Amino acid sequence: MMEKWNNDLYNNLKFNNMIWSISWKNIWRNKVRSTVVITAIALGLTAGIFSSAFFTGMVNQRIKQAISNEISSIQIHDPKFKETTEMVNYMANAPEISDKILKMDNIAGISNRIIIYSMVSSAETAAGVKITGIDPNRESQVTGISSKIVDGKYFEGVSRNPVVIGKKLAEKLKVKVRSKIVVTIQDLDKNIIGGAFRVAGIYETPNTGFDESNVFVKSSDLLSLTGLPPGAAHEIAILINDNDLAFSIDQEIKIMFPDREVLNWKEISPEMSYMTEAMGLYNYIFIIIILFALLFGIINTMLMVVLERRKEIGMLLAIGMARLKIFVMVMVETVLLSLTGGLVGILLGGLIAKHFETNAIDLSMWAEGYSQLGYDTLVYTSIEAEQYAVIAIMVVMTGIIAAIYPAYKALKYDPAEALRIE
């Protein structure tokens, strides 16, 4: 009994090895047709992988830009401030909170801010803006505005009431470095007051919408203008060394300060959170659409193969080869054909994506449109290693699905009729 079982096992292993060998040789019986199919699969997947890497890189850069220039990793507010944005909803103990957080691990920088939504005007026109009062040294550790100065200097060169504004806002107000602008705000007593500021520097980020609506002044100047007490802040912005840690660090801060509203970057900007979660799904949907289109080409090719080899298949059936083995042989051929094209496509797509990880794709000819949406015109591709494995599995599944109908057609052949075909 054991000897029979060993013989059956040996025969099965021998058959399996033979099937893979024969199937691989069968693919190349018609080199032109197989090469065309493999090339189509490879080019489709190359385009799919590169597109996925391109859009993923674009989204990752947008998120990185938003965190480093606009929103930071974590923000702390009075619970009522985000809802009302009123000046009276400030934190009187902001310095104490900041000092405690600075002692935590993985904190790259922290900045206390005074936030006022109001008007700025020049001799030419006026605009509604967000006025942020900051400590320039601390703010430069949290955001990259200090490195985005394109004209003038970052709070230098102006002795009294310096202001840093965006390039888009400077164009709108028709001002330049050392021009005077007037900030109109409401103090704690509800009185409308105006303060004269002089432009020290003009910054430019990839987000023109941000540049047009954000003005930075020294918090000490804003405190004296509004009547807020020393140490008051509406917002504490925190930059984390690794933004993936923001979701655990914000929980620690919530425990430390339960009476404050603590938000990580996904909570501050839900659209960023949506882009992060949706991009992976969109990439896989895009690859599925490509494979679905290739599926019909593979099915058509294998049906032609089965039709051309009808007499050969009939002969195998006539000498006693099991129909299941015929089915397996056609399935293996299709999977090998798909997998060959898939691996070539994954390799080419991966190499191209890898190249553009360090060599930016320049989209400066569409700079105006991209900057309005907040996207950088120099895009670096990005793709996770696990995506390659998932795509390879998807290619194999495509091959299996494509093989079912041709293999089923091969099973339906009658050996006697097949052998009569000339």
Q: Which of 248, 394, 415 is nearest to 335 (CA)?
A: 394
pLDDT at residue number 300: 85
At 202, the pLDDT band (50, 70, 90 cuts) reads: very high
Could you report the per-residue pLDDT of 26-49, keeping only the tens digit for each?
A: 778 888 888 888 898 899 899 888
pLDDT at residue number 5: 44
Sign of CA dihedral 38, 40, 43, 46: negative
Could you report the per-residue pLDDT of 214-245, keeping only the tens digit for each?
A: 999 999 998 888 888 888 999 999 999 888 88
Q: Which of 304, 374, 418 is nearest to 64 (CA)?
A: 374
What average pLDDT does the structure give for the chain? 84
Weakest mean pLDDT among 91-105, 245-259, 365-379, 390-404: 365-379
Distance in angstroms (rounded) separating the CA atoms of residues 393 and 387: 10
- pTM of the prediction? 0.76
pLDDT at residue number 10: 42
Q: Report percent pLDDT > 90 for the chain.
A: 32
Residue of 88 and 418 predicted with greater confidence: 88
Two tokens, residue 210: 């941000």
pLDDT at 376 over 80: no
pLDDT at 175 over 90: yes
Q: Which of 45, 51, 50 is nearest to 393 (CA)?
A: 45
Domain boundaries, the chain: 22-65+274-419, 79-259
pLDDT at 7 over 90: no
Could you report the per-residue pLDDT of 263-277, keeping only the tens digit for each?
A: 998 888 887 777 777
Residue of 257 and 317 predicted with greater confidence: 257
Could you report the per-residue pLDDT of 133-155, keeping only the tens digit for each?
A: 999 999 999 988 999 999 999 99
Give, in degrees to the nearest 5, the angle at Cα 184 between 79 and 202: 90
Weakest mean pLDDT among 187-191, 208-212, 409-413: 409-413
pLDDT at residue number 373: 65
| Over residues 250-265, mean pLDDT | 91
Contact between 385 and 346 (Cβ < 8 Å): no
pLDDT at residue number 301: 83
pLDDT at residue number 136: 92
Residue 262 to residues 26, 67, 105, 109, 408, Cα–Cα distance (Å): 64, 16, 17, 16, 61
DSSP-derived secondary structure letter, 360? P
Q: Which residues contact 60 (CB under 8 A, 6 or more apart)?
A: 382
Distance in angstroms (rounded) separating the CA atoms of residues 49 and 387: 9
Helix (H, G, I), strand (E, B) or coil at 224: helix
Distance in angstroms (rounded) separating the CA atoms of residues 231 and 95: 6
Amino acid identity of residue 371, one-letter, is S
Residue of 177 and 373 predicted with greater confidence: 177
Two tokens, residue 110: 């922290």
Weakest mean pLDDT among 217-231, 240-254, 297-311: 297-311
pLDDT at 6 over 70: no
Q: Which of 51, 59, 49 is nearest to 370 (CA)?
A: 59
At 307, the pLDDT band (50, 70, 90 cuts) reads: confident
Q: Which residues pair with 215 in a beta bridge?
A: 131, 165
At 367, the pLDDT band (50, 70, 90 cuts) reads: low
Two tokens, residue 331: 């399935």
Within 10 angstroms of residue 51's Cβ, the number of other Cβ atoms is 17
pLDDT at residue number 4: 44
Q: Report percent pLDDT > 70 for the chain.
A: 90
Distance in angstroms (rounded) separating the CA atoms of residues 374 and 212: 12
Distance in angstroms (rounded) separating the CA atoms of residues 149 and 206: 12
Torsion of CA 363, 366, 369, 370, to 10 degrees: 0
pLDDT at residue number 75: 93
Q: At what angle do helices 310-318 and 270-308 cross, to 10 degrees?
A: 70
Residue 317 to residues 18, 79, 212, 267, 418, Cα–Cα distance (Å): 17, 78, 77, 65, 10
Two tokens, residue 391: 């795509």
pLDDT at residue number 415: 59
At 16, the pLDDT band (50, 70, 90 cuts) reads: low
pLDDT at 422 over 50: yes
Distance in angstroms (rounded) separating the CA atoms of residues 339 and 348: 14
At 71, the pLDDT band (50, 70, 90 cuts) reads: confident
Torsion of CA 170, 176, 178, 184, to 10 degrees: -30
Q: Which of 407, 369, 395, 209 is nearest to 288 (CA)?
A: 395
Distance in angstroms (rounded) separating the CA atoms of residues 419 and 152: 88
Contact between 33 and 297 (Cβ < 8 Å): no
Residue of 289 and 201 predicted with greater confidence: 201
Could you report the per-residue pLDDT of 318-343, keeping only the tens digit for each?
A: 777 777 777 888 888 888 888 889 89
